[in-house]
């Protein structure tokens, strides 16, 4: 599975909590240029009917907004 900020943004407004299959259905309905890549990533999740509460449950290393801000006091 390879996630990027752009791919993860496809699931930003998903109907959370959701199972893998529900998320795949959502992305299919949403469509778009990168939807195929998102579906491939979601298909790689376990099929044990796990319910995901947010994108953070799927992409554990997802960068936070704080990771992108420059803090002057640190330099």
55 pLDDT more than 80: yes
HSE, CB side, 13 Å, CA atoms: give it for residue 66.
Answer: 0
Provide the whole-model pTM: 0.81
Instruction: Tell me the pLDDT tens digit for each residue of 6-41.
Output: 999 999 999 999 999 999 999 999 999 999 999 999
Question: The tokens of 12 are what?
Answer: 């930003």
Among candidate residues 73, 6, 68, 7, the one with its CA nearest the CA of residue 37: 7
Among candidate residues 53, 52, 58, the one with its CA nearest the CA of residue 1: 58
C-beta of residue 20 within 8 angstroms of C-beta of residue 50: yes
Domain boundaries, the chain: 15-59
């Amino acid at each position: 599975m390879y996630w990027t900020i752009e791919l993860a943004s496809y699931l930003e407004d998903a109907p959370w909590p959701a199972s893998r299959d529900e998320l795949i259905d959502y992305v299919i309905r949403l469509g778009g240029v990168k939807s195929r890549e998102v579906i491939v990533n979601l298909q790689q999740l376990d099929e044990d009917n796990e319910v995901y509460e947010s994108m953070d449950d799927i992409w554990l290393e997802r960068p936070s907004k704080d990771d992108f801000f420059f803090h002057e006091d640190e330099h």
